[in-house]
């Protein structure tokens, strides 16, 4: 678990304990559900927002702001998570020994042959936006990302739309015209 994830979890637990009424088991359960939902977002955020850089295999290229929502009795009733990419240019350009965002490698390594065809990612193709594909990292776990997306309410058809490569947007480098 990343340090920032661990810190977020500790702070949420602390606030849930301090803010929850001693007689309200329901408040405690609501706070736990909110905490779990926020933590379930981490594999998705890491897949779409982290990349291998010169200094770190799992470098966060995004920022995250978590706002805990309280009722008048100061009990946690919800949370809002806002994220933003710090490095949008990474999609189009990386240093020679760096990699793009983890999600691209997860898809190429973890999708079934049928999914790859459906998403316009033929096996064995080389993609200009996918440098250093031979490097395998522990972050290349597509099933963990897909499961986290399901827990967040992103169903399989929606996931398929997210993973589908638009033919014009992502040119292949092996010389064929795919557009």
Q: Are 65 and 103 in contact (CB under 8 A)?
A: no
Enumerate the domain spans of the chain. Answer: 1-169
What local confidence, expressed as pLDDT, does residue 156 receive?
95
* Cα(145)–Cα(48) distance, integer angstroms: 9
Q: What is the pLDDT of residues 86-131, one digit of tens each?
A: 666 666 677 788 888 889 889 988 999 999 989 988 887 878 778 8
Domain at 1-169, CATH class = alpha beta
pLDDT in the model for residue 68:
81
Instruction: Report yes or no: 105 and 140 within 8 Å, Cβ to Cβ.
Output: yes
Dihedral of alpha carbons 117, 119, 103, 153, sign: negative
- For the chain, list residues with pLDDT below 70: 1-6, 8-9, 12-13, 15-24, 86-92, 166-179
């Amino acid at each position: 678990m990343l340090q920032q994830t661990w810190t977020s979890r500790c702070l949420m637990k602390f606030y849930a304990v301090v803010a929850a009424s001693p007689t309200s088991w329901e408040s405690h359960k609501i706070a736990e559900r909110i905490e779990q939902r926020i933590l379930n977002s981490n594999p998705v955020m890491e897949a779409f927002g982290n990349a291998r850089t010169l200094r770190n295999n799992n470098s966060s290229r995004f920022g995250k702001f978590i706002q805990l929502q309280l009722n008048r009795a100061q009990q946690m009733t919800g949370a809002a998570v806002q994220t933003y990419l710090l490095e949008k240019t990474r999609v189009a350009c990386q240093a020679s020994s760096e990699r793009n965002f983890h999600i691209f490698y997860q898809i190429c390594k973890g999708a079934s042959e049928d999914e790859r065809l459906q998403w316009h990612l033929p096996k064995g193709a080389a993609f200009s936006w996918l440098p250093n594909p031979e490097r395998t990292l522990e972050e290349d776990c597509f099933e963990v990302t897909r499961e986290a997306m399901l827990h967040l309410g992103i169903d399989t058809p929606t996931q398929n739309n997210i993973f589908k490569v638009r033919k014009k947007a992502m040119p292949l480098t092996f010389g064929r015209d795919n557009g």
